[in-house]
Amino acid sequence: SKPSCKWQRVLLKVSGEALAGDHTQNIDPKITMAIAREVASVTRLGIEMLQVAIVVGGGNIFRGSSWAGSGGLDRSSADYIGMLATVMNAIFLQATMESIGIPTRVQTAFRMSEVAEPYIRRRAIRHLEKGRVVIFAAGTGNPFFTTDTAAALRCAEINAEVVLKATNVDGVFDDDPRRNPNARLLDTLTYQDVLSRDLSVMDMTAVTLCQENNIPVVVFNVTKSGNISRAILGERVGTLVGG
Ligand code: UDP
């Protein structure tokens, strides 16, 4: 019998921070290659109907909120620069994936037709059905939002079953593990836990969108080898929110 999987369609969120690793130049090619290899390893298992979409962040290059106000830069303009940063990451990740034979399409939330396809929901779904990895870039296309919110939004739009949030920590802790050595890693959480205890999973807009649409979120450590494939295959990894 064919191998099976908990999910059929997943939305992997890769933050800019995750892409940067400890590289001094914004993107660590070892990390993009590691991500590509892990995605390849699961999509090549021959699991029928296992589809992977990706939302990339841009914080490794430009984060609108931290630049707004500098040199007269208003928040909206800063956020447009931030969204452009996600396109750079998307193209890098696409090139890496295609270099090892994974068919991909990049779709941007605002038009850059010479560079990538515009976001067209039905077309994105068609690509997924054909076994292509779809990378969503430029966030939601709107300032004042984040790529976590874009991940929740695209997940809901394309009827993906889960947001897999790749981070640099093992999951959600009850306190900051960098300051408190006794901080405990939490296995499961409700959306309400996240919102009321202000746990740093995703921003509130993203959490609320997931809650309203019953989208579980798995927060896991991308720097540990094998974790992306585990998360995609629905194995227990990191912290499960909702679900
Ligand atoms: N951004 C935006 N609207 C969106 C998504 C992103 O304006 O829908 C901008 C915002 O300035 C943000 C930057 O793009 O700081 C990079 O995205 P984000 O900070 O979410 O990336 P990550 O933290 O995942 O690296």
Residue 195 Cα to ligand 1 middle (Å): 20
How far is it, in rounded angstroms, from Cα 17 to Cα 152?
18
Q: Which atom of ligand 1 is nearest to the CA of 109?
A: 8
How many A from CA of 47 to the centre of ligand 1?
33
Instruction: Give me the domain span that covers residue 149.
Output: 9-241
Reported as a pLDDT band with limits 50, 70 and 90, residue 25 is: confident
Question: What is the length of the chain?
Answer: 243
Question: What is the 132 CA–ligand 1 centroid distance (Å)?
Answer: 24
Of all protein residues, whose CA lies closest to atom 15 belonging to ligand 1?
Answer: 63
**Nearest partner of 164 among 61, 98, 87, 237, judged by Cα:** 237
4 found inside a domain: no
CA of 236 to the centre of ligand 1 (A): 28
Residues with CB under 6 Å of ligand 1 are 15-17, 57-59, 63-65, 78-79, 82-83, 85-86, 139-140, 142-143, 145-150
Which of 61, 50, 59, 49 is closest to 13 using CA atoms? 59
- Residue 23 has what pLDDT? 79
User: For strand 104-108 and strand 117-118, is the pairing parallel, antiparallel, or unpaired?
Assistant: parallel
Name residue 11's amino acid.
Answer: L
The pLDDT value recorded for residue 21 is 84
- pLDDT given at position 22: 82
Q: C-alpha 216: how far from its chain's center?
A: 13
Residue 88 located in a structural domain: yes
Residue range 35-84, pLDDT digits in tens: 999 999 998 887 777 999 999 999 999 999 999 999 999 999 999 999 99
Q: Which atom of ligand 1 lies at the shortest distance from residue 14's CA?
A: 24
Handedness of CA 15, 36, 86, 67 (dihedral sign): positive
- What does the pLDDT read at residue 196? 87
Query: 46 C-alpha vs ligand 1 centroid, how far in Å?
Result: 34
When pLDDT is cut at 50, 70 and 90, the band that residue 2 belongs to is low
* pLDDT band per the 50, 70, 90 thresholds, residue 112: very high
Task: Give the residue among 83, 36, 39 at the shortest CA–CA distance from 61.
Answer: 83
Tell me whether residue 96 is in a domain. yes
pTM higher than the cut 0.90? yes
* 60 within a domain of the structure (yes/no): yes
Identify whether 33 is part of a domain: yes
**Rounded mean pLDDT, 170-176:** 89
For residue 194, is it within any domain? Answer: yes
pLDDT over 70 for what percent of the chain?
98
Q: At residue 198, does pLDDT exceed 80?
A: no
What is the domain count for the chain?
Answer: 1
Q: Which residues contact 56 (CB under 8 A, 6 or more apart)?
A: 14, 16, 19, 86, 89, 90, 93, 135, 136, 137, 147
- Counting ligand 1 atoms within 8 A of each CB, the residue from 12, 145, 147 with the most, and so the one to mutate, is 147
**Is residue 156 situated within a structural domain?**
yes
pLDDT digits (tens, 9 = 90+) for 71-106: 999 999 999 999 999 999 999 999 999 999 999 999
CA–CA separation, 126 and 123 (whole Å): 5
Residues 203, 172, 23, CA angle at the centre, nearest 5°? Answer: 80
Handedness of CA 64, 66, 67, 70 (dihedral sign): positive
Q: Is residue 25 part of a domain?
A: yes
Closest CA to 16 of 3, 1, 28, 34: 28
| Mean pLDDT value of segment 188-213 | 91
Average pLDDT over residues 158-167: 97
Angle at 41 between CA 40 and CA 47, to 5 degrees: 95
Q: What is the CATH number of the domain that holds 190?
A: 3.40.1160.10
Instruction: Say if residue 201's pLDDT is above 70.
Output: yes
> Is the model's pLDDT at 232 over the cut of 90?
yes
